[in-house]
Every structure is written in C-alpha cells, then in structure tokens.
C-alpha cells in the first residue's frame, strides 16, 4: 500500500491574512513540501498540470525532475497529465526521460482535466475530449511498448517508422493510472489495458466512485488481466488535522469557505458528510480512511490533498508531520490486516521489472537497431533528407569544405 500527497498547484490568498504568495514563493514551497513528504515517510508525491491562473504547474516533468534530484525514495507522479491536449509523442519522451533521471521512481496519471478553455489553447476541440483520450493513449501505449511505430489516427499527423527516445528504462514503461471523477469510459480504458484506475473521490459521495471502481474491476477481469480483486486501484482524499477536532474545524473553516474549488458552496459540515474530506483529530482520519476498504475493496494507493486553499507552508508541513507520524503508520497496519495474498502490491519500477524478466537481465534499449533512424528510414521525409544531403555534399565539394 502506498500513501502520498497530491497538489493541484493553486496560488490562493490566505483568507486569515489577506496575503497571496507569489508564483516563486508557491513553487519553492511545493518543492519543500515534496522533500518533507519523503522525510516523514510517505511514498508518493503527485503534481497536477494546469495552464491558467491561479495555478502554476504548467510543466510537471520539469518540477518532478528537480524533486527527483533532491530525494532518494519518493515515487513521483502526476495528478493529472492531460492526455487530451498534450501530444502523445511528447508525453512518451518526457516521461521516459524523467524515468531515467529518477532511476525508475516515476509513474503518471492521465486525465482530461477540469478546465474547458485549455482545449482551444492547444488547438483541440473539447467536444472531442473522449475520442482524443482514447486515441492519444492508444498511441502513447504503442510508443512505449513498440520500438518502431507505424501509426495513423484522426487527431494528429501519421507516424512512419518512428521511435520515441529515450526508450523506457529497462524496457519497462512507467506505470499508468487513468484518473477520473465521473466518466465510465475511462474506467473501461484502464481495464482494457490492464492499467491502474485512480478515482479522485474528493467531490462526490462514495457511492458514485464505488460504481466506477466496481465497473473497472469487472472489466479488468473481463479482459483477462486477473480477478476483480487484482485490479489496481488508487483513491484521492482530503484531510486537515489537529489534536483536538474542534480546533481543526475552527482553523480550517476559513480556508474551506474561500477555496477556489468548492468555496462558497456547501457548508464544511455538509461537505465532510458527503465526501471523504475529514477535518478533525488524527484518530478520526484513521477511522474514516481505514474504512475505505469496506467500500472499495483492497486498493494500492491513497493520496491526500493537503496544500490547497491558501494554507500557509508552515501549516502544511505540520499537517505532513501528523500524517506521516501518527496516521499513515496506523493505516498501513490496518489496511494490511486480512489482506488476501492474491491482492497485488502497489506498482513500482522494481516489481514491474521483476514481473517482466524474473531473474533475467533487464533489456538494454537499442532503438531501431535494424531500421536506421526516424529521419532517414521509414519516414515520409526520407527522400527530402537524402536530397538535402546530396545538395550539401555538392556544395561542400564546390567550396572545398
């Protein structure tokens, strides 16, 4: 079981002081939060992708590469990478590079995001959101699983004899989670490929996400990836804790009431009743999240949203101390009890490599050993490249170069 935190990278005014941090301050604070997550014993740090204020994280792989250099154990992932508006070729290259830089401590969560205007900003049509998701991931999957790809689809130019570089570390691509808050087609997609399904259950009642996860488990088994209980499930969550629950509620209320995502909506009491948001003592958090297994079955990853809504850095670090020191150790024990041996561990690069090779030596990538390179072999630009080379050779001969 993996425990970690996720951030949406919002830059929000602290309602108790009226002060809004700068982009630079918020970015540096997030880096410190990630380092502290490892220090308190958490397993995962997840960073969102946004391209509009009040969010700063437009380039998650850049940030995660920096964090990788400053940590030793932390698994780095996204929450989420926009599969609709990013080019699958660039996703394949960026995350394979990050995988090498981080020594395998990388996976990614794919999603459509919740910002409609991002589609035209990147030349896409929001009405094609689901078809884009399906086609783009099909290409991404092939770019990582096949050394040489010939591909043609609806939403981007064809590829002929293309190899994305670098190749995945040890020939094993980063593990993929498909994130969703509402869409059964995404649960189906995750099941079809045998990938993980992350239900970011922070907005709606548990029964909504229970239906999605049940569908994913059933379809995972339908596609012969294992039993429903062997499907790979992750959950989102939100907590705010103090030793005394009344103090937690009093301190968190102004942040909740003014949060950019759900502020000025349902009351704090109603929201905590309807969703997994838990504001109270560490024991209240333990009791609520230990019971997640009763609703969703045994699962592999639990992420918490903790640094949003204008909470100051000092407070977030205190929350991580409580989470790592008092809550997660107990949840690890609680959720390990009576866990069937058939339920798989959370995915890591090490156990994916072991599954792929057993005791054998991992594959050393040799891209397109028999096919040349992207430019001059199997490419529509081959003839143009050859002509350009001939022209350069002739010019060099004339000039004595």
Write out pLDDT tens, residues 177-201.
999 877 899 999 999 999 999 998 7
Q: Are residues 89 and 199 in the same domain?
A: yes
**How confident is the model at residue 385, as a pLDDT?**
38
Q: Are residues 377 and 284 in the same domain?
A: no
CA distance 209 to 43: 24
Give the list of residues 6+ apart from residue 389 with CB closer than 8 angstroms, or none: none
Handedness of CA 39, 42, 43, 48 (dihedral sign): negative
pLDDT single digits (tens) 215-252: 999 999 999 999 999 999 999 999 999 999 999 999 99
**How confident is the model at residue 375, as a pLDDT?**
66
DSSP secondary structure, 274-313, as one string? HSS-EEE-HHHHHHHHHTHHHHH-S-SEEEEE-S-TT--H
Specify the 3-state DSSP secondary structure of 6.
Answer: strand
Q: Are residues 6 and 136 in the same domain?
A: yes
Q: pLDDT at residue 380 above 50?
A: no
Q: pLDDT at residue 289 above 50?
A: yes
Q: Are residues 191 and 306 in the same domain?
A: yes
From 125, 37, 42, 137, select the one nearest 87 (Cα to Cα). Answer: 137
Q: How confident is the model at residue 176 (pLDDT cuts 50, 70, 90)?
A: very high
CA distance 125 to 300: 34
CA distance 188 to 193: 9
The arithmetic mean of pLDDT across residues 109-125, rounded, is: 81
**How confident is the model at residue 129, as a pLDDT?**
85
CB 43 within 8 A of CB 2: yes
Provide the pairing of β-strand 159-162 with 175-180: unpaired
- CA-to-CA dists, residue 191 to 217, 225, 366, angstroms: 7, 8, 30
The arithmetic mean of pLDDT across residues 394-400, rounded, is: 44
CB 195 within 8 A of CB 175: yes
From 167, 92, 84, select the one nearest 122 (Cα to Cα). Answer: 84
**How confident is the model at residue 253, as a pLDDT?**
97
Question: Which residue is it, tokens 């896409």?
Answer: 124
Helix 60-70 with 88-101: angle, nearest 10 deg: 10
Q: CA angle, corner 230, sides to 342 and 277, nearest 5? A: 115
The CATH code of the domain that includes 126 is: 3.20.20.30
Q: pLDDT at residue 205 above 90?
A: no
Q: Are residues 339 and 384 in the same domain?
A: no
- Share of residues in the chain with pLDDT > 70 (%): 90
**How confident is the model at residue 387, as a pLDDT?**
43
CB 92 within 8 A of CB 164: yes
DSSP secondary structure, 309-331, as one string? TT--HHHHHHHHHHIIIIIHHHH
Strands (E) across 85-216 are located at 107-111, 149-151, 159-162, 175-180, 196-199
Q: Are residues 203 and 328 in the same domain?
A: yes
Lowest mean pLDDT among 49-53, 76-80, 285-289, 337-341: 49-53
Radius of gyration of the chain (CA): 23
**How confident is the model at residue 186, as a pLDDT?**
94
**How confident is the model at residue 51, as a pLDDT?**
87
Q: Are residues 397 and 280 in the same domain?
A: no
Q: Are residues 176 and 293 in the same domain?
A: yes
Question: Considering its fold, how many domains does the chain have in total?
Answer: 2
The arithmetic mean of pLDDT across residues 340-368, rounded, is: 89
**How confident is the model at residue 369, as a pLDDT?**
54
Work out the mean pLDDT of the chain and round it to a whole number. Answer: 90
Range of the domain at 299: 2-369
Instruction: Specify which residues 2 forms β-bridges with.
Output: 301
Q: Are residues 251 and 392 in the same domain?
A: no
**How confident is the model at residue 376, as a pLDDT?**
58
The arithmetic mean of pLDDT across residues 378-401, rounded, is: 42
The arithmetic mean of pLDDT across residues 255-276, rounded, is: 88
Task: Answer yes or no: pTM beyond 0.85.
Answer: yes
The arithmetic mean of pLDDT across residues 378-390, rounded, is: 42
**How confident is the model at residue 383, as a pLDDT?**
46
Q: Are residues 224 and 362 in the same domain?
A: yes
Q: pLDDT at residue 330 above 80?
A: yes
8-state DSSP, 170: G
Pair of tokens at residue 230: 């062997």
The arithmetic mean of pLDDT across residues 60-83, rounded, is: 96
Q: Are residues 141 and 264 in the same domain?
A: yes
Q: Are residues 107 and 87 in the same domain?
A: yes
Q: pLDDT at residue 150 above 80?
A: yes
CB 148 within 8 A of CB 378: yes
The arithmetic mean of pLDDT across residues 341-359, rounded, is: 95
Q: Which helix (H) or strand (E) holds 44?
A: strand 44-47
CA distance 244 to 273: 19
């Amino acid at each position: 079981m993996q425990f970690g935190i996720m951030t949406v990278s919002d830059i929000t005014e602290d309602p108790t002081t009226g002060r809004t941090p700068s982009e630079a301050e918020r970015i540096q604070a997030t880096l410190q939060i990630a380092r502290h997550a490892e220090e308190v014993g958490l397993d995962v740090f997840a960073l969102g992708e946004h391209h509009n204020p009040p969010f700063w994280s437009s380039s998650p792989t850049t940030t995660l590469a920096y964090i990788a250099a400053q940590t030793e154990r932390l698994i780095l992932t996204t929450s989420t990478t926009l599969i609709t508006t990013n080019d699958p070729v660039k996703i394949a290259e960026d995350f394979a590079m990050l995988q090498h830089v981080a020594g395998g401590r990388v996976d990614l969560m794919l999603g459509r995001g919740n910002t409609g205007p991002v589609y035209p900003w990147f030349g896409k049509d929001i009405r094609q959101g689901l078809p884009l998701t399906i086609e783009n991931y099909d290409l991404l999957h092939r770019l990582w699983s096949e050394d040489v790809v010939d591909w043609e689809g609806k939403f981007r130019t064809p590829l002929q004899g293309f190899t994305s570089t670098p190749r995945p570390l040890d020939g094993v691509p980063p593990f993929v989670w498909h994130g969703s808050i509402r869409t059964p087609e995404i649960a189906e997609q995750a099941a079809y490929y045998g990938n993980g399904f992350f239900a970011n259950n922070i907005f709606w009642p548990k029964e909504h996400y229970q239906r999605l996860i049940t569908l994913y488990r059933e379809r995972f088994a339908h596609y012969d990836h294992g039993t429903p209980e062997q499907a790979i499930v992750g959950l989102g969550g939100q907590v705010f804790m103090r030793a005394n629950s009344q103090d937690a509620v009093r301190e968190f209320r102004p942040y909740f009431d003014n949060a950019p995502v759900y502020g000025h909506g349902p009351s704090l009491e109603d929201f905590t009743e309807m969703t997994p948001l838990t504001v109270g003592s560490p024991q209240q958090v333990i009791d609520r999240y230990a019971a997640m297994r009763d609703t969703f079955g045994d699962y592999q990853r639990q992420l918490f949203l903790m640094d949003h809504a204008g909470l100051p850095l000092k407070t977030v670090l205190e929350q991580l101390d409580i989470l790592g020191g008092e809550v997660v150790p107990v949840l690890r024990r609680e959720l390990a009890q009576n866990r069937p041996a058939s339920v798989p561990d959370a995915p890591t690069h090490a156990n994916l490599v072991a599954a792929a090779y057993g005791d054998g030596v991992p594959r050393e990538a040799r891209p397109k050993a028999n096919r040349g390179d992207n430019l001059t072999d199997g490419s529509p630009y081959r003839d143009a490249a050859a002509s350009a080379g001939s022209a350069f050779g002739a010019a060099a001969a004339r000039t004595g170069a």
